[in-house]
Amino acid sequence: MNSPVSQEIRSTIKGLAGRLINEGVLTAEQVRDAEQGAKSMRVSLIRYLIDTLDVDSRELAEMASAEFGVPVFDLNAMNREMLPEQQIDGEMMLKQHAVPLFRRGNRLFVAVSDPMNLGALDEFKFAAGINTDAVLVDDEALSALISDLAEQAGGFGHDMASLGADGEYDLEIIDGSVDEYEDVRDAADDTPIVRFVNKVLLDAIKQGASDIHFEPYEKDYRVRFRTDGILREVVKPPRNLAPRLAARLKVMSQMDISERRVPQDGRIQMKLSKKRAIDFRVNSLPTMYGEKIVLRILDPTSAQMGIDALGYEEEQQALYVEALKKPQGMILVTGPTGSGKTVSLYTGLGILNEPERNISTAEDPVEINMPGINQVLVNPKVGLNFAEALRSFLRQDPDVIMVGEIRDLETAEIGIKAAQTGHLVLSTVHTNSAAETVTRLLNMGVPAFNIAASVTLIIAQRLARRLCSHCAEPETTVPQEALLELGFTTYQLSSATIKRPVGCGHCKDGYKGRVGIYEVVKITKPIASAIMDGANSLELDRVAREAGFNDLRQSALRKCAKSLISLEEVSRVTTD
């Protein structure tokens, strides 16, 4: 049976919802959706409105005050020296989103922005050993006070208190649309959750991370960055924040926050300045202990670095540029996920992107927006797959076509047909080497003569961690026999400067940034003949070596001899 107090609260909340509608803050439909969202997230309506819909906290406090008959206490006029120090617990304040303000006799008055936050009153009552009463305050001011007090207490509160304080960038969060902005500097005065998420995204960009992982577990929660290809833990927020962090990220990426049973995809754009914006590709995944959310950072400036910055050897770069200048043919880039294929393709498109060319791309997803190029996001659910997009491109008077990936025979056949009829085609295939790319196409069912006649260049690639130039030291512990066994020649070792990682204030672990390792194979007449003769990948690899094209191991060893990468990285990126 419901108690009179709970019944009164429930009826008052309905009154608050009505006030939101009557005063034009939300529509009736938005209120119904909010009530459903709050129910699905197991939070109060007020908490949902503040955290998820970004309803103005001051306005909401005044409405709640009118509905509950409780005056709003002005935290800005409070003397912080009067706070009861014995009850100031940073972790408890963050967990309950409440602050004990003062004692009157045997009662402790606790500041809350949500009158339904009865759990906070109970927890502070238990900790203090006296009865508690709620004091209604503006959530924005409460969040700022919690951050300040938690910062003084240290720990995670310090991390949250510093969020949004960085003035290096003029930031805006663009929630899925270039017309809808959320000023991050305004968010610096918003809830700790908002500021924490913004700070994590900013830190990931500054550290050059490629991915951000928000991961809930049974008893803890962690955030990890993938930097230079390696995942590293950066912060461990309190476990109870998991639902609120997931909700915030899903709202930013325009996902359905009420749906937590199936994976979802979304997108966030963060505007760093008038000239620079960063996209985040977002995916949520239901796990046993909540939703794991991963963000892939898509920095459009990576496609504008220029081919000289990618790490090609001089002869490899010349082969790529030569293939790009041809009016027709197919260029294939291959490698595992995270090997830099997208940047290689976009760099090629950047070279080709001139007013006299019509360039169309079919991508899943569109990772980097490029002005002057017609980019199509494939959508298999409505019948727009890579093959269908290619068919349409051929009716669009194209000069250059880029297909995100060749996954099946239909896409391969249409791409090869385009490459044979006066179009330059660029695409990717998921294999480990140039030779394996040919055998993959053969296994799909593409005739050998079509491959030999259409494919002009194959690039296999990896990304290796670059040695920090400030602390790398000469490698003196590895005997020459081991180096020769690794693949070095005696001639290479006579002039090589091999170094190892150390670690310093610039890099922490001895590595700073990444550099590309490439196998670039031009389809010459001997290689084309081998393809026509049905050669397997080992035979094709041998013919490519005889033609003078370095494989990935040889290219990595050349980088190692120039002190760019370590012996450890040579083995890591070239051992399949």
Cβ neighbourhood burial of 378 (10 Å; 0-12, 13-18, 19+): buried
Phi-psi region of 372 (alpha: psi -120 to 50; beta: other; left: phi over 0): left
Question: Is 70 exceeded by the pLDDT of residue 189?
Answer: no
> CB–CB of 263/275 below 8 Å?
no
pLDDT for residue 191 = 57
Name the E strands within 316-454.
329-334, 359-363, 374-377, 400-403, 424-429
Q: Which range, 124-133, 294-303, 392-401, is most confident?
A: 392-401
Question: Is 90 exceeded by the pLDDT of residue 568?
Answer: yes
Per-chain mean pLDDT for the chain: 84
Question: Is 70 exceeded by the pLDDT of residue 190?
Answer: no
Q: Which pairs count as long-range contacts for 320-325, CB under 8 Å and 24+ apart, including other chains?
A: 320/348, 320/457, 320/459, 320/520, 321/351, 322/522, 323/456, 323/457, 323/522, 324/348, 324/351, 324/352, 324/424
pLDDT tens for 337-347 read 889 898 999 99
Q: Which domains does the chain have, with CATH numbers?
A: 4-161 (3.30.300.160), 172-298 (3.30.450.90), 302-463+516-551 (3.40.50.300)
pLDDT tens for 116-171 read 777 778 888 877 778 888 888 888 788 778 777 766 654 444 444 444 334 344 44
Per-residue pLDDT averaged across 186-214, rounded? 77
pLDDT for residue 41 = 64
CB environment 419-447: b (16+ within 10 A), e (fewer): beeebbbbbbbbbbbbbbbbbbbbebebe
> CB–CB of 566/499 below 8 Å?
yes
pLDDT for residue 518 = 97
> CB–CB of 457/522 below 8 Å?
yes
Measured CA to CA, the distance from residue 312 to residue 331 in angstroms comes to 16
pLDDT tens for 34-90 read 887 777 666 677 777 776 666 777 788 888 888 777 778 888 777 777 777 766 676
pLDDT category, 185, cuts 50, 70, 90? very low
Percent of the chain's residues with pLDDT above 90: 46
> CB–CB of 542/432 below 8 Å?
no
Question: Is 70 exceeded by the pLDDT of residue 1?
Answer: no
Per-residue pLDDT averaged across 372-393, rounded? 92
Q: Which of helix, strand or coil describes residue 439?
A: helix
Dig out the tokens for 84 from the structure: 């009861």
Nearest C-alpha neighbor of 191 from the set 48, 80, 297: 48
Dig out the tokens for 400 from the structure: 């250059």
> CB–CB of 501/511 below 8 Å?
yes
Pick the more confident residue, 294 or 220: 294
pLDDT for residue 449 = 96
pLDDT category, 273, cuts 50, 70, 90? low
Residue 310 is which amino acid?
L
> CB–CB of 227/207 below 8 Å?
yes
Measured CA to CA, the distance from residue 390 to residue 320 in angstroms comes to 23
Dig out the tokens for 520 from the structure: 């670039």
pLDDT category, 459, cuts 50, 70, 90? very high
> CB–CB of 122/108 below 8 Å?
no
Question: Is 50 exceeded by the pLDDT of residue 7?
Answer: no
pLDDT category, 3, cuts 50, 70, 90? very low
Return the minimum-mean-pLDDT range out of 46-55, 67-76, 506-515, 519-528.
Answer: 46-55
pLDDT for residue 300 = 76
pLDDT category, 296, cuts 50, 70, 90? very high
Pick the more confident residue, 363 or 44: 363
Phi-psi region of 430 (alpha: psi -120 to 50; beta: other; left: phi over 0): beta
Backbone angles phi, psi at 565, to 5 degrees: -135, 165
pLDDT for residue 14 = 59
**HEC assignment per residue over 284-309:** EEEECCEEEEEEEEECHHHHHCCHHH
CA angle centred on 257, ends 253 and 263, rounded to 5°? 75
pLDDT for residue 274 = 66
DSSP summary character for residue 71: P
Percent of the chain's residues with pLDDT above 70: 86
Nearest C-alpha neighbor of 74 from the set 133, 137, 142, 143: 137
Identify the H or E element spanning 136: strand 131-137
